[in-house]
Amino acid sequence: MYQYPAIAALIDDVTQKLERLDQVLPSAYPSRLHEMFTQCYPNTLTTTVELLEDGTTFVVTGDIPAMWLRDSSAQVNPYIHLAKEDQALQRMLRGLIQRQAQYILLDPYANAFNREPNGQGHKGDQPPAGLWVWERKFELDSLCYPIKLCYRYWQHTGDMSIFNESVHTMLRKVVEIMRIEQHHDTRSSYTFERPDPLLPSDTLPRKGRGTPTPYTGMVWSGFRPSDDACKYGYLIPANMFAVVVLGYASEIARIQYQDESLAQEAEALCQEIESAIETYGIVEHPRYGRIYAYETDGYGNYNLMDDANVPSLLSIPYLGYRPMDDALYQNTRRFVLSSDNPYYYEGKYAYGIGSPHTPNGYIWPIALSMSGLTTTDPTEQQKIAALLVNTTANTGYMHESFHPDDPQHFTRPWFAWANSLFGEFVQSFVTNLPTSLAPERRKP
């Protein structure tokens, strides 16, 4: 990891703290936690990042040779706070920002792209995708993640060189597409059909237009961050994410580009979406009270569930939409971490949230890490850390999903996003070690 000195320094610091913790409180966290952090945290950098000659960066998701806008952003997110003092990290992140902007301008409806225009990816989708596109599933979060990456990079480094005309045009394009997709049924030309799909969730009904949606103020999304089709077109967590990043876009437009028109348009759109979420996205649950729905169609139909992929309802404070102690979020969190969520599973070795994207009953490490990142309870964090360490099938790496009764059965042995988020989770509680290691707990 000498190519990225800040990464090497952080790994050394975190592992030392975890080793000391193991000595002081040997039952608090599993002893292999520091070894897994050392493996998982840099996994994106050592296995998925390619610095290209044009100055951009291509980041594959892992065992699929394509770059997802969502995954690539999430994979590097835990490194951004270290970039101010690490020129190599800055080069990598700047290059990724520029390549993401180029991809969005090539096709703002696509979710995954090729390294070059080689035509690789899914075949037979209608309408046909361009040569650069691996898959053309419109997922609202795919437009949100690159803006978050831009904003966090700028805030942590102060580097303004990323704000060229390509990024400026990207921001305008994102706002334009969100405006169109507020009126999907009447203004959008987007459709997606996959003939003879392996799963019904790989295609959209109604000749590729999805289920009907009236105007609400929210933005329509064809697919979830799992790449599965939405049951109802207004995906609440993705719209929450849009509210947050439109605030970022407004700030960038005003400060970096002196583009008051774009800033005001982003602010107006942000307010419309948030108002619509609070109007159409909340239901009264008989057990948990007022909670956020996962999806709605604007006609009074709701999908009460949560999916492991982020944005999710579990991740609301992580996204920045509401604070962790928000009463509505806490009600929602209790629901999604219960058997009332149809994708919450329990087994002999683990409990947590899965996804219809993977086999029935399988739990996702991404959701377990997110559970740890959205609580301040050290006992809950300790339990989550133990679950993550003890369910890797002795590989020392996170997987996409695993069977809670037999972790030897898992999907995707190389899934960099899960490794990165695990590293982020470990950092989050290590940062608070001085508080958790209060003197009264240091007993022989």
pLDDT at 19: 81
pLDDT at 175: 98
Q: How far apart are the first and last CA of the chain?
A: 37
| 46-74 average pLDDT score | 97
DSSP labels for 192-256?
Answer: -B-SS-SSGGGS-HHHHT-S-----SSPP-SB-TTSPBPSSSEEHHHHHHHHHHHHHHHHHHHHH
C-alpha to C-alpha distance for 262 and 259, rounded to whole angstroms: 6
Domain 5-342 = CATH 3.90.420.10: no
Query: What are the tokens at 87?
Result: 């020129």
What residue segments make up the domains of the chain, in order of their start? 5-342
Q: Are 98 and 55 in contact (CB under 8 A)?
A: yes
User: For 160-170, how does the pLDDT look when each residue is reduced to its tens digit (9 = 90+)?
Assistant: 999 999 999 99
pLDDT at 333: 98
pLDDT at 23 over 80: no
C-alpha to C-alpha distance for 364 and 370, rounded to whole angstroms: 10
pLDDT at 378: 85
User: For 117-126, how does the pLDDT look when each residue is reduced to its tens digit (9 = 90+)?
Assistant: 999 999 999 9
pLDDT at 367 over 90: yes
pLDDT at 379: 86
C-alpha to C-alpha distance for 211 and 225, rounded to whole angstroms: 18
pLDDT at 132 over 90: yes
pLDDT, the chain, mean:
94
Q: Are 376 and 339 in contact (CB under 8 A)?
A: no
pLDDT at 232 over 90: yes
pLDDT at 199: 86
The Cα angle at residue 352 between residues 351 and 355, in degrees rounded to 5: 130
pLDDT at 20: 78
User: For 137-183, how does the pLDDT look when each residue is reduced to its tens digit (9 = 90+)?
Assistant: 999 999 999 999 999 999 999 999 999 999 999 999 999 999 999 99
Query: Which residues are 141's β-sheet partners?
Result: none
pLDDT at 290 over 80: yes
Confidence of residue 30 (pLDDT cuts 50, 70, 90): low
The H-assigned helical ranges of 61-157 are: 69-76, 87-106, 140-157
| 303-318 average pLDDT score | 98
- The rounded percent of the chain whose pLDDT value lies above 70 is 94
Confidence of residue 21 (pLDDT cuts 50, 70, 90): confident
In this structure, of 19-28, 58-67, 295-304, 362-371, the range with the lowest mean pLDDT score is: 19-28
pLDDT at 152: 98
Confidence of residue 433 (pLDDT cuts 50, 70, 90): low
pLDDT at 437: 47
User: For 72-114, how does the pLDDT look when each residue is reduced to its tens digit (9 = 90+)?
Assistant: 999 999 999 999 999 999 999 999 999 999 999 999 999 999 9
pLDDT at 231 over 80: yes
Q: Residue 237: which of 314, 341, 352 has the closest Cα?
A: 314
Confidence of residue 436 (pLDDT cuts 50, 70, 90): very low
Query: Which residues are 6's β-sheet partners?
Result: none
pLDDT at 1: 55
